[in-house]
């Protein structure tokens, strides 16, 4: 979807279809969200098949929905592709589980992903990023969005314990989960694509666990660590390990590449911002946070109201599905000054691209480290970046990203 909104226009909120994939693949959703924040902070939509959902778009409301599990539960599913059918893994899959069980499992996983725990990976990440960027400097066209899909696997594959021979397959499968209607990843219809991807990913981790149990020992990987995690008094079952391993693979591969592509596009469109960041390396952490805010790659999550709940000037009935639009919250003018301005000097403190509350992304420290290293190396090596064709946006209402971003980069001349 367009990250820089087009001209302001009249929006008929009674006719808005937030499930219209064209709105994200070729449209301009930010003016829609602007209108919703101003005029309908709690928006109700009924789909042609009878499914219905309520949307919140203001920063404070989004944080409340994502942060209060007693009012808004994750137990029935958290992604809009599950709307109308409860997640079959609810209560076992970490993303579809509420505290206290969620907290117990998350704490055990998160202990391996704290800023201190991932810091020793910086040199390895930097080497991977340098190898990733080198082909862009041969003077030819470099499709950053297409190639960036593999970047998280290069970084996190060894951490998770995934051999390199499997990276491409897993990248493809996770893309199928998040954008099952995109022609680049679709296999048959949307339902078939989702079913294939879910089955293959869970089967992969299940087989991985079986091989590790047979081999014995501990290879120090995150997936191996997952085999020792307990929820309360009991260890995770192999099925729960497979489901949570699936969740880790999905989280690792989904958002970082689209944050990279969207942020680079913002810099291409604003050469003065590229120059500012290049002139002052201390701005790179700001650039990362602004890039996260600007792209909001995971642009929404879903919860269900536990009871009749007042929010956004209206009421969500008990059991109602609520979609919290992160992409809108991160452009809320009451929280961010000039929210549709991309500014590398902005601190972007409080951006919620990684979510908010109990389900805040457990891999955020590793993602931040990867993004910081990526932009340090890009700014050091690239003297200029230009588009060499039109960006092609992902056909998804869940992930804001691109499938193609053809660029031509020039080496930076050093004294």
Task: List, as one string, the DSSP characters of 326-381.
Answer: HHHHTT-TTTSSSTTS--TT---TT--TT--GGGS-TTHHHHHHHHHHHHHHHHHH
Instruction: List pLDDT tens digits, range 25-51.
Output: 999 999 999 999 999 999 999 999 999
* 3-state SS, residue 404: strand
Which CATH architecture fits 21-411? Orthogonal Bundle (1.10)
What is d(CA 143, CA 170) in angstroms, rounded to the nearest whole number? 20
243 or 285: whose pLDDT is higher? 285
Among 161-170, 240-249, 373-382, the minimum mean pLDDT is found in 240-249
Asked if 179 and 205 count as a contact pair (C-beta separation under 8 A), the reply is no
Q: Residue 237: which pLDDT band, with cuts at 50, 70 and 90? A: confident
* 3-state SS, residue 185: coil
Indicate the average pLDDT of the chain: 93
What is d(CA 374, CA 113) in angstroms, rounded to the nearest whole number? 19
Predicted pLDDT of residue 305: 98
Q: Flag whether pLDDT at 88 surpasses 70.
A: yes
* 3-state SS, residue 387: strand
Q: Flag whether pLDDT at 11 surpasses 60.
A: yes
Q: Please, what is the Cα angle at 251 between 259 and 92, to 5 degrees?
A: 155
Q: Flag whether pLDDT at 379 surpasses 80.
A: yes
Instruction: List pLDDT tens digits, range 315-325.
Output: 999 999 999 99
241 or 265: whose pLDDT is higher? 265
Q: Flag whether pLDDT at 8 surpasses 90.
A: no
Q: Where are the alpha helices (DSSP H) in 3-96?
A: 21-25, 29-39, 59-67
pLDDT > 90: percent of the chain: 73
Burial label for 159, CB within 10 Å (0-12, 13-18, 19+), is: buried
Pull the structure tokens for residue 140. Answer: 């030819």
Predicted pLDDT of residue 217: 67
Instruction: List pLDDT tens digits, range 136-154.
Output: 998 899 999 999 999 998 8
- With CA atoms as reference, report the closest residue to 245 among 99, 89, 85: 89
Instruction: List pLDDT tens digits, range 179-220.
Output: 999 999 999 888 899 999 989 998 998 998 888 888 776 777
Predicted pLDDT of residue 415: 52
Q: Flag whether pLDDT at 251 surpasses 90.
A: no
Residues in contact with 153: Cβ distance below 8 Å, sequence separation at least 6, in sequence order: 162, 167, 168, 170, 171, 252, 253
Q: From the CB of residue 239, how many other CB atoms can be counted at a distance below 10 Å? A: 13
Reported for 128-131, long-range contacts at CB under 8 A and 24+ positions apart, including other chains, are 128/154, 128/155, 129/370, 129/373, 129/374, 129/377, 130/377
Pull the structure tokens for residue 92. Answer: 């076992």
Predicted pLDDT of residue 394: 94
What is d(CA 404, CA 394) in angstroms, rounded to the nearest whole number? 9
Give me the residue label for tokens 């990203």: 401
- With CA atoms as reference, report the closest residue to 302 among 143, 116, 85: 85
Q: Where are the alpha helices (DSSP H) in 237-322?
A: 238-269, 271-279, 284-295
């Amino acid at each position: 979807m367009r990250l820089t909104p087009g001209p302001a226009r009249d929006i008929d909120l009674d006719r808005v279809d937030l499930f219209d994939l064209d709105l994200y693949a070729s449209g301009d959703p930010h003016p829609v969200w602007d209108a919703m924040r101003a005029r309908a902070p709690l928006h109700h939509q009924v789909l042609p098949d009878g499914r219905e959902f309520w949307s919140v778009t203001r920063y404070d409301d989004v944080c409340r929905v994502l942060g209060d599990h007693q009012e808004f539960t994750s137990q029935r599913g958290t992604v809009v592709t599950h709307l109308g059918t409860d997640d079959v893994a609810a209560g076992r899959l970490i993303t579809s589980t509420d505290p206290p069980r969620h907290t117990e499992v998350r704490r055990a996983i998160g202990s391996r992903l704290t800023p201190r725990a991932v810091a020793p990976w910086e040199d390895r990440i930097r080497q991977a990023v340098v190898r990733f960027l080198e082909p862009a400097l041969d003077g030819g066209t470099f499709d950053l969005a297409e190639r960036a899909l593999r970047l998280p696997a290069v970084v996190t594959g060894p951490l998770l314990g995934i051999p390199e021979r499997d990276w491409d397959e897993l990248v493809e499968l996770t893309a199928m989960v998040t954008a099952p209607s995109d022609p680049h990843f679709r296999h048959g219809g949307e339902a078939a694509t989702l079913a294939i991807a879910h089955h293959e990913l869970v089967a992969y981790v299940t087989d991985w666990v079986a091989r590790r149990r047979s081999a014995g020992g501990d290879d120090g990987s995150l997936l191996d660590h997952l085999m020792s995690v307990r929820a309360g008094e009991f260890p995770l079952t192999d099925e729960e390990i497979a489901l949570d391993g699936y969740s880790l693979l999905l989280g690792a591969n989904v958002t970082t590449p689209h944050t990279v592509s969207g942020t680079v596009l913002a810099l291409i469109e604003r050469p003065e911002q590229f120059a500012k960041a290049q002139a002052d390396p201390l701005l790179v952490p700001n650039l990362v946070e602004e890039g996260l805010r600007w792209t909001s790659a995971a642009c929404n999550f879903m919860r269900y109201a536990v009871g009749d709940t007042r929010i956004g000037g209206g009421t969500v009935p008990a059991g109602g599905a609520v979609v919290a639009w992160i992409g809108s919250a991160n452009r809320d003018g009451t929280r961010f000054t000039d929210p549709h301005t991309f500014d590398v000097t902005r601190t972007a403190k409080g951006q919620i691209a990684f979510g908010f509350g109990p389900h805040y992304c457990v891999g955020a420290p590793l993602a931040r480290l990867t993004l910081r290293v990526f932009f340090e190396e890009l700014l050091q090596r690239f003297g200029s970046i230009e588009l060499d064709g039109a960006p092609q946006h992902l056909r998804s209402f869940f992930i804001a990203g691109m499938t193609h971003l053809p660029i031509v980069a020039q080496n930076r001349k050093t004294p």
